[in-house]
């Protein structure tokens, strides 16, 4: 009971007035990122839009989470043709506990220059492993093996319609601009559908959703792909 009361107090303190469907854990310059541990992806090059740090974490709850994927959060990439070997999701919670509620993992078409489009792939009811307590953020890796031919958005939909937020997606506030997205439910005070998270939570450079990517670049794409590999090789 005491733990639930504390959780409610922290969440209420983090909410702007009239926006109880949208949760931010609040700015912190003391976050720590921990690796994926035993669930680390075995193949592909890690691609992400954040600058190596995160300063906040977001989630939807209550009326902000509706089927089919209102309340989803994602990040878009344009890496050419290839395979998303694994998804990398940087997540945190108010308590480090297991198991968290489940999420459906999605890949959508597009998201670079325009809103995400059709669903490419959906992996249902995934329970992320090792979500740590804020301000520690964990990289949670999940095998996917999804081929793509062009721009894509990788993200997840939290399976807690009508309930309080269970975990949060890390957000980079001050890095180079990426392609962050969230899908907003109708009737909760924001433009509905796919939107930049900045309209809800303030200036946001990138969301903590990345990909271990195995590229198949054409000769014209090779210099770009080489630059990406050099930047993000671990």
The pLDDT tens digits for 50-79 are: 999 999 999 999 999 999 999 999 999 999
3-state helix/strand/coil string of the chain: CHHHHHHHHHHHHHCCCCCCCEEECCCCCCCEEECCHHHCCCCCEEECCCCCCCCEEEEECHHHCECCCECCEEEEECCCCEEEEEEEEEEEECCCCCCCCCEEEEEEECCCCCCCCCEEEEEEEECCCCCCECCEEEEEEEEEEEEECCCEEEEEEECCCCCCCCCEEEEECCCCCCCEEEEECCCCCCCCEEECCHHHHCCCCEECEEEEEEECCCHHHHHHHHHHHHHHCC
pLDDT digits (tens, 9 = 90+) for 33-53: 999 988 889 899 999 999 999
Tokens of 223: 């210099």
Distance CA 58, CA 197 (A): 9
Total domain count, the chain: 1
User: How large a percentage of the chain has pLDDT more than 70?
Assistant: 83
**Are the C-beta atoms of 194 and 106 separated by less than 8 Å?**
no
Q: Tell me what the pLDDT averaged over the chain comes to.
A: 87
pTM for this structure? 0.85
Of 10 and 134, the one with more pLDDT: 134
pLDDT confidence band for 130 (50 / 70 / 90)? confident
Range of the structural domain that residue 152 is part of: 2-232
pLDDT confidence band for 86 (50 / 70 / 90)? very high
């Amino acid at each position: 009971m005491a733990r639930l009361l504390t959780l409610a107090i922290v969440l209420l303190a983090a909410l702007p007035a009239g926006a109880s469907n949208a949760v931010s854990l609040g700015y912190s310059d003391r976050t720590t990122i921990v690796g994926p541990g035993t669930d680390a992806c075995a193949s592909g090059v890690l691609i992400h839009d954040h600058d190596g740090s995160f300063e906040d974490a977001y989630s939807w709850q209550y009326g902000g989470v509706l089927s089919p994927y209102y309340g989803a959060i994602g990040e878009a990439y344009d890496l050419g043709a290839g395979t998303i070997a694994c998804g990398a999701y940087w997540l945190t919670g108010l308590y480090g506990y297991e198991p968290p509620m489940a999420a459906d993992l999605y890949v959508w078409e597009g998201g670079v220059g325009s809103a995400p489009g059709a669903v490419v792939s959906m992996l249902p009811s995934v329970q992320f492993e090792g979500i740590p307590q804020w301000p520690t953020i964990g990289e949670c890796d999940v095998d996917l093996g999804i081929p793509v031919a062009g721009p894509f958005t990788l993200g997840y939909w939290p399976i807690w319609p009508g309930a309080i937020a269970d975990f949060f997606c890390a957000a980079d506030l001050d890095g180079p601009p990426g392609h962050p997205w969230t899908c907003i439910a109708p009737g909760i005070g924001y433009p509905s559908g796919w939107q930049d998270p900045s309209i809800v939570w303030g200036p946001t450079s990138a969301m903590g959703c990345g990909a271990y990517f195995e590229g198949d670049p054409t000769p014209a794409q090779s210099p770009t792909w080489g630059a990406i590999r050099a930047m993000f090789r671990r």
